[in-house]
């Protein structure tokens, strides 16, 4: 169908990446170095995730790509088209239909199953980076389990803001051993890190792969008197009425009008198709706003 090898990468490279993935799955939360390749897209656009996906894809797979929960944003569209072209795999927007989901900054609302793989795009894999800039030192801290510094960061949050203000890339401890950066997902998604699916994290520029095998124990770090909270905007989705999904705030005019909608577009659509209605739906139960957003 084209002149590329299946899924763009050559077989040797995929093999190398698969080895790194296996090692990452064997040592949950540990950052495995790998020889990241130049990809036909800029760093920061998901080169790590794309390489991990390429190494995992088989022709029978059905791929879903999301960017901040949406299937139709630039990043998601370009990566989906990349694999359509280079691997010829089927694609879908439906979470439950996908076998492999590449994501940037979200975990789908619908619980994943053991037949699925979730691949994260990771900008900075090192959770200690902003506290300790030396890579030699952070590696040592991981190997010796010296994680006091992570709590210093949380302490600073509380001292400055009265609460833990870290709201994304919230650090977690995996299987009681490695502290891991879950990539910039909202901390609302942290509880979903304990999942039936295989979760793989790829950082292209930083050349690291790490992983969470199914049902792995993932604890969000906190203080006894300031426990972790998976917070979200205190609203229901204005389109589908869901009170439990993670919401995006959308400014709708220049007079302060705004609406809250599910960040997971597939989840929202599925609910609306099933007849759930929100505040601003065309035939919504209440229409208080001055705008009709539908």
Partner 1 sequence: MTPLLQVKGLTKRYGARIGCQDVSFDLYPGEVMGIVGESGSGKSTLLNCLAGHLEADAGAVVFDTRADGPRDVRAMSEPERRMLARTDWAFVHQNPRDGLRMGVSAGGNVGERLMAVGARHYGNIRGQALDWLDRVEIAGDRIDDRPTAFSGGMQQRLQIARNLVTGPRLVFMDEPTGGLDVSVQARLLDLLRGLVREMGLSAVIVTHDLAVVRLLAHRLMVMKSGHVVEAGLTDQVLDDPQHGYTQLLVSSVLQA
**Cβ proximity of 285 and 236 under 8 Å:** no
CB of 225 to partner 1, least distance (A): 5
Catalytic residue among 56, 204, 268, 284: 268
Q: How far apart are CA 186 and CA 145, in angstroms?
A: 25
Q: Is 78 exposed, middle or buried (0-12, 13-18, 19+ CB in 10 A)?
A: middle
| Using rule CB under 8 A, residue 160 touches partner 1 | yes
Q: Cα 259 to the chain's mean position, in Å?
A: 24
**Cβ proximity of 83 and 89 under 8 Å:** yes
Tell me whether residue 162 is one of the annotated catalytic residues.
no
CB of 148 to partner 1, least distance (A): 3
Tell me whether residue 240 is one of the annotated catalytic residues.
yes
CB of 130 to partner 1, least distance (A): 9
Catalytic residue among 237, 241, 278, 284: 237
Catalytic residue among 48, 240, 278, 284: 240
- Exposure string for 145-176, b = 16+ CB within 10 A, e = fewer: eebebbeebbeebeeeeeebebeebbbbbbee
Binding range to partner 1, per CB under 8 A, among 207-215, 224-232, 262-270, 284-292: 224-232
Output 149 or 230, the one with its CB closest to partner 1: 149
Strands of the chain (E only): list them: 32-33, 62-67, 90-91, 100-104, 117-121, 172-174, 178-180, 198-203, 208-212, 218-220, 247-251, 258-262
Distances (CA, A) of 44 to 123, 179, 263, 278: 6, 23, 21, 35
What mask, x for binding partner 1 by CB under 8 A, covers residues 194 to 223?
A: ----------------------------xx
Distances (CA, A) of 136 to 34, 46, 132: 17, 25, 10
CB of 188 to partner 1, least distance (A): 22
Tell me whether residue 262 is one of the annotated catalytic residues.
yes
Output 224 or 254, the one with its CB closest to partner 1: 224
Binding range to partner 1, per CB under 8 A, among 154-162, 173-181, 255-263, 264-272: 154-162
**Cβ proximity of 64 and 95 under 8 Å:** yes
Which ranges in 27-134 belong to alpha helices (H)?
47-56, 74-86
Out of 90, 94, 129, 155, name the contact with partner 1 by CB under 8 A. 155
Considering CB under 8 A, how many residues would be counted as binding partner 1?
18
CB of 170 to partner 1, least distance (A): 16
Output 45 or 228, the one with its CB closest to partner 1: 228
Output 155 or 168, the one with its CB closest to partner 1: 155
What mask, x for binding partner 1 by CB under 8 A, covers residues 113 to 152?
A: ------------------x--------x---x-x-xx-xx
Out of 3, 38, 60, 225, name the contact with partner 1 by CB under 8 A. 225
Q: Classify strands 90-91 and 247-251 as parallel, antiparallel or unpaired.
A: unpaired
7 closest CA partner among 79, 73, 97: 79
| Using rule CB under 8 A, residue 4 touches partner 1 | no
Report, as residue numbers or ranges, the catalytic residues.
29, 237, 240, 262, 268
Binding site residues, partner 1, CB under 8 A: 131, 140, 144, 146, 148-149, 151-152, 155-156, 158-160, 222-226
């Amino acid at each position: 169908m084209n002149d590329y090898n299946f899924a763009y990468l050559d077989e040797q490279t995929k093999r190398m990446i698969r080895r790194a993935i296996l090692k990452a799955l064997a040592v949950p939360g540990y950052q495995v170095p790998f020889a990241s390749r130049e990809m036909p897209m800029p760093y920061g656009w998901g080169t790590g995730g794309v390489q991990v996906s390429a190494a995992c894809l088989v022709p029978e797979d059905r791929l879903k790509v999301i960017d901040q929960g949406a299937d139709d944003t630039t990043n998601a569209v370009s990566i989906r088209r990349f694999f359509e072209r280079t691997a010829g795999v089927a694609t879908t927007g439906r979470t439950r239909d996908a076998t492999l989901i590449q994501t940037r900054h979200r975990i789908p609302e619908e619980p994943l199953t053991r037949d699925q793989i979730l691949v994260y795009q990771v900008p900075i894999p090192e959770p200690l980076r902003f506290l300790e800039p030396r890579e030699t030192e952070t590696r040592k801290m991981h190997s010796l389990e010296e994680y006091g510094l992570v709590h210093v960061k949380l302490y600073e949050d509380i001292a400055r803001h009265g609460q833990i203000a870290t709201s994304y890339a919230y650090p977690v401890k995996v299987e009681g051993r490695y502290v891991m950066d879950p990539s910039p997902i909202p901390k609302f998604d942290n509880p979903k890190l304990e999942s039936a699916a295989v979760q793989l994290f790829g950082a292209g520029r930083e050349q690291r792969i790490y992983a969470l095998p199914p049902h792995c124990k993932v604890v969000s770090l906190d203080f006894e008197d300031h426990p972790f909270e998976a917070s979200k905007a205190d609203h229901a989705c204005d389109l589908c009425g869901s009170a439990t999904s993670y919401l995006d705030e959308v400014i709708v005019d220049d007079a302060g009008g705004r609406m809250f909608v599910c960040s997971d577009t597939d989840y929202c659509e599925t609910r609306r198709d099933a007849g759930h209605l929100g505040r601003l739906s065309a035939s919504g139960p209440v229409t208080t706003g001055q705008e009709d957003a539908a």
